[in-house]
Amino acid sequence: MLARDYKIRVFVVFLCFIMLFAIIAIRLFLIQIRQKNFFKVLAKHQYELEITLNPPRAFIYDSSGRFPLAFNREVPSAFIVPHQLATPDKTLSFLKRQYPDVYQRIKQNPDKQFLWLDRKLTQQKHEKLVKLGLKDIHFIGEHQRFYPLQAAAQVVGFTDIDNVGTAGIELGFSKRLSGLPSRVKFEKDARSGSFYFEKEIQRQGQRGSPVTLTVDRALQAIAYHELRQSVETLQAKSGSVIIMDPETGHIQALANYPAFDPNQKSVPSLEMMKNNAVCECFELGSVMKAFCALAAFEEGAVSFDEPIDCEGRYGYVDGVKIENPTITLLNRLAEKNNILPFNEVVRYSSNVGIAKIAKRLGPRFYLHLRRLGFGTKTNIEFPGERTGFVNPPERWSRPSLIVMSFGYELMASPIQLAKAFSVIANGGYDVQPSLIKSEEKKQTRRKLYKDQSINDMKNIMEKVCERHQMPGVRVMGKTGTARCIKDGRYSAQDHIYTFAGIVEKGDYRRVVITFVKEPAKASLWASETALPLFAKVAERMVVHDMVHQRIG
């Protein structure tokens, strides 16, 4: 009897185990086979996260190819996963106080899988968020752009929070620098709730290609330093400096002031970030007399020493009253009975004298301005370049040709002026300005002007700079003073001052353009503003290039 009861109990227990195993087997079948996709999606929803990550943005280098003008450093960014908050009350309370925009977005879409909280954090902000100890705030490393040379801010430009180019070279070459993004899957440890222990690349990206500029970082710093001092001393609205190699077209420095710090998160104003040397055009005044003289020499319309009647303080050409404005010029006219040889007409900047020569040229003057590149983009590799304007003959009024001879009724950018002066500097050849260094580039040497025309212009401009000559170096140039237009009229107080200069020794040649806009003090001349700035930049440039053995 006892043996029989024992067997029954064993059978019942065995049957219970069989049923338990059957239930487990059925449950496993349902979970792993029938409901596999449901639980797979659920697990993925809870523990997997996919993010698009951009590759590190490629560097921007100076002309040496070694010094980066833009590079990356990794910084933390904070994010949350709204659909799986571990401590929702605590987290939402914090967000409502500190990040109301994020809080509102979660309220509108609580099932959102990913949401940035704060990106590219400073060390102080990162430490503050970590100390909160909120389990729902996670961190990931991102690449932030860094710019070591503020002097080049308006050339290099900057990127936005997503490392997309917003201005300057960063904008113009954004696709090349950024490459292609990767799609990355993260898996979260279910126990820790915050440590992402596996990272799988779903779609492999592609690194961007670096960009090497023609800009020499030392010359850029020199140009910027001298420009800043001049603009601040003169209390001017703005200024620009260009240093260009007229043989290759390479821009070795392109400085603007005021400038901005591209490493700051705040976006600068449009005026502050604009590269005025490329993206703005102005009436440049008497600096344009150099090109009227060059055209006249080329066309045989005047000889170097031909006497020209400049008529004193005022003169008339085709019934148009013209002023000879400078005291230096008027004193010279008094010495010479108002008759100057043509080379002194340009040297002392007589409006009356140059207007008479422009009348001899007629529409041919317009053709020479176009030949030199005015009214046409230089096609420098920079976004937002302005075309400028040269009034065509079919639109001329009676004064048009006259005022064009001394820089009005035409608009040009400093980079166009640098290109045109490079034609004089390099012996009469066309040149293509460039900011990007490339071994594949080859300049097409097209002769635009005869050697005699170029030599005559250089001899005149050397006299303009006789007080700013350097030992063993030939310095040439031309000043320009132009009135600004205010409320549709030319202002008597506000002026633009320009100096276009050439520095030469043997095979070494550089064009330096200096530009100062609207100093606080009225009644100045380019010889008191832009020319002294040129002299300082040119002197330091020559010393730098001698040290680096660019000058023989």
Q: What is the pTM of this model?
A: 0.85
234 burial class (0-12, 13-18, 19+ CB within 10 angstroms)? buried
pLDDT surpasses 50 at 309: yes
Helices (H), 321-469: 327-335, 342-347, 351-361, 363-371, 400-404, 414-425, 451-464
Break the chain into its structural domains and give their ranges: 50-212, 217-539
- What's the pLDDT tens digit per position in 464-521? 998 899 999 999 999 999 999 888 888 888 999 999 999 999 999 999 999 999 999 8
More confident residue, 543 or 39: 543
Residue 449: pLDDT band with limits 50, 70, 90? very high
CATH superfamily of this structure's domain 50-212: Penicillin-binding protein 2a (Domain 2) (3.90.1310.10)
Residues in the chain: 552
Please give the share of the chain, as a percent, with pLDDT higher than 90. 59
Q: Which of 337, 310, 307, 305 is nearest to 323 (CA)?
A: 310
pLDDT at 219: 97
Residue 229: pLDDT band with limits 50, 70, 90? very high
- What's the pLDDT tens digit per position in 195-208? 454 455 555 567 88
pLDDT surpasses 80 at 9: no
Among 84-98, 230-244, 358-372, where is mean pLDDT lowest? 84-98
Asked if residue 258 has a cis previous peptide bond (ω within 30° of 0), the answer is yes
- What's the pLDDT tens digit per position in 147-203? 999 999 999 999 988 888 999 999 999 999 988 876 666 665 555 444 454 455 555
pLDDT surpasses 70 at 296: yes
User: Domain 217-539 - what CATH class?
Assistant: alpha beta
pLDDT at 441: 55
Q: Which of 489, 466, 478, 548 is nearest to 513 (CA)?
A: 478
Residues 246 and 510 sit within 8 Å (Cβ to Cβ) = yes
pLDDT surpasses 70 at 277: yes
More confident residue, 220 or 445: 220
Residue 108: pLDDT band with limits 50, 70, 90? confident
Whose structure tokens read 């400085």? 255
pLDDT at 198: 47
Distance of CA 139 to the CA centre of its chain: 33
pLDDT surpasses 60 at 365: yes
> CA distances (Å), 140 to each of 103, 124, 145, 189, 201, in order?
20, 16, 16, 15, 15
pLDDT at 195: 43
